[in-house]
Amino acid sequence: MASDRLNPSKTNRDLPGIPQLAKRIIACLDVDAGRVVKGVQFQQLRDAGDPAELAVAHASAGADEIVLLDITATSEGRKTLAETVRRAARDLFVPFTVGGGIRKLQDAAQVFDAGADKITINSAAVANPALIGEIAGRFGSQAVIVAIDARRATGPVETAEVLVSGGRTATGKKALQWAWEAEEHGAGEILLTSMDRDGTGLGFDCELTSAIALSVSIPVIASGGAGNAQHFVEVFSAGHADAALAASIFHFGTHAVADLKQTLLRAGIPMRWPC
């Protein structure tokens, strides 16, 4: 068992009594045409509710940050998005990130205008890395998260490849190199999703997360594979992640964040508490 290797007393401990930067638990809402959708068995999407209500509910339940990912591809859907972001942002007083379909500065500006604090860019950044600097130049690096979808199958971490277009298209780019480049271009954070683990519930790719987290100086958010609380303990300790993201409140229900944080605190991981 991977979990048996962990020694929580050795993880992320600074000098006792000195407060530490908390590791963040980020709730991700996948939104399609203005509604939160939830994948069941990785495929069928079912309606899970109103994004604005769920964003606030997750924040009150203890999520440290909210990410809203627009999975709609149509221009019609994009218009709905600005309105959705506006409604979700209204009563949200924790950091709020919006991603999906942002291809140019103007798209980002619209989302910021609607109330987002940060945006994530993925395919568009790979196609045009200068876009990272363009958005960072206008809104600050702290507002730009470069999302990296990576796949390595059973290969070593150095072979992990960047995928775009929702994980459908391989780019030949190496994830480690791309993370470093993204930082050079002005990214404020990296959102790393393991496409090998995404949807499996087998745990985060801690090895890849760690390799990237240790090679860049900006925070790394781990995503893909969360199945239980122990997976979060692992990604924060062995994986050196600064934050971990899971979709649709980890598929456990909205009371799960507090329980998850309790487990992490017991394992010696610094958490925002009470939340």
Partner 1 sequence: MIAIVDYGAGNISSVKKALEHLGVEARVTSDACVIAGAQKIVMPGVGHFSRCQSLNEHLRVPVLDAIHNGKPFLGICVGMQWLFSGSTEAPKTPGAALFTGECSRFPASVKSPHVGWNQIEVRAGSRLLKGVESGAFVYYTHSYRAPVVAETTACTNYGGAFSAAIERDNIFGVQFHPEKSAEAGLKMLENFCGL
Which residues participate in catalysis according to the annotation?
30, 149
**Options 131, 143, 191, 222; binder of partner 1; rule CB under 8 A:** 143
Which DSSP string corresponds to 171-191?
A: EEEEHHHHHHHHHHHT-SEEE
Site string for partner 1, 98-137 (x = CB under 8 A): --------------xx-xxx--------------------
Judge whether 180 and 187 are in contact, CB under 8 Å.
Answer: no
In the complex, minimum distance from the CB of residue 261 to partner 1, in angstroms, rounded to a whole number: 11
In the chain, which residue ranges form alpha helices assigned H by DSSP? Answer: 51-61, 75-90, 105-113, 123-127, 130-139, 175-185, 206-215, 229-237, 256-266
Should residue 261 be labelled a site residue for partner 1 when binding is judged by CB under 8 A?
Answer: no
**Options 219, 227, 238, 258; binder of partner 1; rule CB under 8 A:** 219
H or E, element range at 246: strand 243-247
Binding window for partner 1 (CB under 8 A); candidates: 22-30, 70-78, 153-161, 223-231: 22-30
Should residue 90 be labelled a site residue for partner 1 when binding is judged by CB under 8 A?
Answer: yes
In the complex, minimum distance from the CB of residue 137 to partner 1, in angstroms, rounded to a whole number: 9
Q: Which residues bind partner 1 (CB under 8 A)?
A: 18-24, 59, 64, 89-91, 93-96, 112-113, 115-117, 139-143, 188-189, 217-219, 242-243, 272-273, 275
